[in-house]
Amino acid sequence: MKVFNTLAPKTRRNLLLLFFTGLCFWSSLTILLPTLPLYIESVGATQQQIGLVMGSFAIGLIFSRGILGQWADQRSRKLVVQIGTAVVGLAPFGYLLVGSLPVLAVIRGLHGISIAGLTTGYSALVVDLSPPQKRGEIVGYMTLVVPIGMALGPALGSYLVEGFGYTTVFWVSGTLGLLGFLFA
C-alpha cells in the first residue's frame, strides 16, 4: 500500500475515486446474486426460467464488450466506466417495476452491459493512471474491488431480503450503482 504514497496527489485521488467506483459497482452487482433468483421465483418462474433470466446477463455482456472496448480507445475510458455504472445503478429499479419474465430477461440482458463497461474502462484507466514501474502493484491493489465487492454484496443482499424484502434490495443495489456513477 506504500506505493500509493509515492504517487502524485492528483493520481492518488483519481485512483482512490476509481477504487470506490469499482467497490460500489461490484457490491451493487453482487447484492443480486443470492436474491434475484429468489425474486424471479417469487413472480412465478420455474427453475429453468430462472436460469434463462439469470443467463441472459451474458448476452448483454457479450454483445457490448467489443463496442465498449472501441469506445474506451476512441472516445473516453471514463465514459465507458460511466456507462457501466449507470447501467448497474438503473437495472435494479427495472427489476423492481417489472413482474413479467420476458421483460425481466430483457432487463437482465441489458444489465450485462454494466460489467462490459466497468471492467473494460476500469482496467484501462488503472493502467493509464499507473506509472509503468509501479503498474503491476497498483493493478493488484485496484483489482481487490472485485473480491471485496463479492464478499460484501451477497452478504448484504441476503441480510436485506431477509429483514426488509426485495424492494429494499433493489433500492440499495441501485443506489450503490448510482453512487459508483457519481465517483466515476
Looking at residue 58, its pLDDT comes to: 98
Q: Say if CB 89 and CB 177 are below 8 A apart.
A: yes
Looking at residue 99, its pLDDT comes to: 79
Residue 140, φ and ψ in degrees, nearest 5: -60, -45
How many Cβ atoms are within 10 Å of 134's Cβ, its own excluded?
13
Domains of the chain, first to last: 18-25+46-183 (1.20.1250.20)
Model confidence pLDDT, tens digit, residues 82-98: 999 999 999 999 999 98
Model confidence pLDDT, tens digit, residues 40-56: 999 999 999 999 999 99
Looking at residue 128, its pLDDT comes to: 97
Model confidence pLDDT, tens digit, residues 98-133: 879 999 999 999 999 999 999 999 999 999 999 999
Q: What's the Cα-to-Cα distance from 113 to each of 24, 72, 83, rounded to whole Å?
A: 16, 14, 8
Q: Say if CB 60 and CB 110 are below 8 A apart.
A: yes
Model confidence pLDDT, tens digit, residues 136-164: 999 999 999 999 999 999 999 999 999 99
